[in-house]
Chains A and B, each alone.
Chain A
Amino acid sequence: MRGRYLPVAAFAGLIVAIQMATHFTGSGYHLTQLTMSAYYSLLAIGLCLLVGYAGQISLGHAGFFAIGGYITALLTTHDLSSRAGGASRWLAKAGILSARIDLYGGELLTVHPWVACLVAVLATVGIAYAVGGPVLKLKGHYLAMATLGFGVIIYRIVLGTEFLGAADGISEVPPFAILPGLEVSGKAALRVPNYYLAWGLVIAGMVLLLNLIHSREGRALSSIHGAEDAAEAMGIPTARYKLSAFALSAAFAGLAGVLLTHYNGGIGPSEASVMKSVRYVAIVAIGGMANLWGTLLMSLLLNYLSLRGYFGTYDDAVFGAILILIMLFAPGGLLRRDLLEEVRDVFRGNGEKAS
């Protein structure tokens, strides 16, 4: 029991250590990219559950991210003040709508971010259930194509629809006030609270997923990955479990989309593109497929470096190269248990071979 949470505590320590380091070297600006990286990691670990543990490949997860982000962006920027009337006044009183001033001093009446977030995540999960039902009946390449197709449809819809901003996307999305004084936004002054909020959420997600994997449901998922027909023969309701994993990973993606949209202050169709979906799956693969910690650490590192422009114009190339190298030489990832044990034995100076 305790052993399972030790890595969580270690990781939390790492997060705090990073923040302290940036504080003492006066380089707090790194927190911006680290926070954005956290939200992408939230999606990645959810995807890891689906692709790595349940073995269901999804090449369209950027679609769920986009659904979450676009719904919240639309609801929190669409001005309802022109539809004045009893309904909107009542809704405003109920806290569902909120009034604010925009960048140019105009007054707006929009949906409150909390409500928008709820609607967005529920919609994402709802769509996941609706789409997942028929899609998850497919296997292998067919499943890959179907999920890819789903992602492309979402991309085309957000790219082609006028009130979703078409090619420009939606900008000027307001900050998301979680509590008085704490809001999800990109403001420089709120860097540290946003950093901890984002990574706190990721850690909570990790705890949830770790518990899930080690529970009966988690083992059922692994058995589905290993041999679906055998699992079905053992009485496991495979279709239901696959669907639940799909919906859960979609929820993670949708939530990540909502929060990152508020952080960035906007979203564009590029968040739903095929390249993004491929990137997410690639990160899970580089992390080692069925390896939550590997996925998390790789996501943190690669997204952070990419967002800082570390690789310059070679960003995609480096990505592709790492992907190929890992898939060819270390498909289990670099953080494999046996690899770590070997290293541990070397340091212990045992001389005995790892069992």
Chain B
Amino acid sequence: MNPDLFFQYVVAGITYGTIYAVVAIGFNIIYNATGIINFAQGEFVMLGGMTAVTLSRFLPLPVAILGAVAVTTVIGAVIDILFIRWLRGPSVLRMIIITIGVSILVREAALHVWGESVRALPYFTGTSVTSIKMGNVYISPQVLWVVGVSAVAVVALSAFFNYTMLGRQMRACAANRDAARLCGISAKNMVTLSFMLSAGIGAIGGAVVCPITYVQYDSGTPLAIKGFTVAILGGIGNSAAAVGAGMILGILESFSIWVLPAAYKEVISISLLLLILFIRPSGIFGSAEEARLKEF
């Protein structure tokens, strides 16, 4: 394999990886605040893309995307208030099944609102054929957008969690819910906020990825599966690790084409997930001790 080909594969891997990482970051936010893995995360990504396409019909693109993020964030809050907020001490099993049910409902609602056809957003810069040439390697500018937006999201999130009052309150809630409540922090509001943040990030991801792929009412579920594969790979709860794990998985999948038929690409990623779960459930970058301390 010559170096040009090698780097082209790496670029392909980074493309996949960033898409997965964006979804994984969404999982981590909710997980950190609530201990729940939100199986409906993929639907937030889908909603972001779909709403952006609908709004872009009569609004300029950047406004449409902001609008899509806003709408999805509100939907995230609504989901929490309707289904999660008033539950008392639910078991892991119950929560998993509730979020699965939510994901089914959101998907079916999208089907009946938007129909079954695929939609695509225009590329942010350039078109579907422009690519930036670095040596003999080609990168679509949209990939740079995806990487850039994800990087900004990760940085903004960690700034939020480390330096703002609200962010610190959320972390307090995640670390020890009862102690946080004793300090006057409303745990329930923190949970709602985490759903909103997660929905927002998912929507941004959906909008920025939409030009590269396309969006359809059921494009949420496969993304969700990849997303939590990456989240667990990196160590669930750790967003920066999710980005790293996403890259690793993406590049692995990309190079796997060289040796295996593409049909088995997902088998590689799932096998990796199972391997990590058996050997080191805390994830590649997670700390085993920290994982043991978490409730689930």
Q: Which of the 9-residue segments B49-57, B87-95, B186-194 touches chain A?
A: B87-95
Q: Residue A200 at the B interface, CB < 8 A?
A: no
Q: Residue A117 at the B interface, CB < 8 A?
A: no
Q: Establish whether residues A152 and B225, one from each chain, have CB atoms under 8 Å apart when the complex forms.
A: yes
Mark B70-89 against chain A: 1 for CB-CB distance below 8 A, else 0. Answer: 00000000000001000100
Q: Establish whether residues A149 and B274, one from each chain, have CB atoms under 8 Å apart when the complex forms.
A: yes
Q: Which residues of A contact B261 (CB under 8 A)?
A: 160
CA distance A53 to B284 in the complex (A): 33
Q: Residue B61 at the A interface, CB < 8 A?
A: no
Q: Which of the 9-residue segments A177-185, A232-240, A259-267, A317-325 touches chain B?
A: A317-325
CA distance A158 to B145 in the complex (A): 36
Q: Establish whether residues B92 and A141, one from each chain, have CB atoms under 8 Å apart when the complex forms.
A: yes
Q: Establish whether residues B108 and A320, one from each chain, have CB atoms under 8 Å apart when the complex forms.
A: yes
Mark A225-243 against chain B: 1 for CB-CB distance below 8 A, else 0. Answer: 0000000000000000000
Q: Which residues of A contact B228 (CB under 8 A)?
A: 145
Q: Residue B266 at the A interface, CB < 8 A?
A: yes
Q: Residue A331 at the B interface, CB < 8 A?
A: yes
Mark B5-17 against chain A: 1 for CB-CB distance below 8 A, else 0. Answer: 0000000000000
B121 CB to closest chain A CB, in angstroms? 26
B117 CB to closest chain A CB, in angstroms? 15
Closest to A52 in B: B93
Q: Residue A328 at the B interface, CB < 8 A?
A: yes
Q: Residue B101 at the A interface, CB < 8 A?
A: yes
CA distance A149 to B225 in the complex (A): 9
B88 CB to closest chain A CB, in angstroms? 11
Which residues, 93 to 143 on A, are CB-close (under 8 Å) to B?
134-135, 137-142
Q: Which residues of B contact A135 (CB under 8 A)?
A: 274, 277-278
CA distance A152 to B270 in the complex (A): 8
Known pairs A134-B278, A282-B101; A140 contacts B92 (CB<8 A): yes
Which residues, 265 to 280 on B, are CB-close (under 8 Å) to A?
266-267, 270-271, 273-274, 277-278
Q: Establish whether residues A55 and B93, one from each chain, have CB atoms under 8 Å apart when the complex forms.
A: yes
CA distance A159 to B225 in the complex (A): 17
Q: Residue B48 at the A interface, CB < 8 A?
A: no
Which residues, 255 to 298 on A, are CB-close (under 8 Å) to B?
274-275, 278, 281-282, 285, 289
| Partner among A144, A146, A156, A289 whose Cβ is within 8 Å of the Cβ of B263 | A156
13 intermolecular pairs with C-beta atoms under 8 Å apart: A134-B278, A135-B278, A137-B278, A142-B277, A144-B37, A144-B96, A149-B277, A274-B221, A313-B111, A316-B108, A317-B109, A320-B105, A327-B101
Q: A-side interface residues toward B, CB under 8 Å?
A: 51, 55, 57, 134-135, 137-142, 144-146, 148-150, 152-153, 156-157, 159-161, 274-275, 278, 281-282, 285, 289, 313-314, 316-317, 319-321, 323-324, 327-328, 331
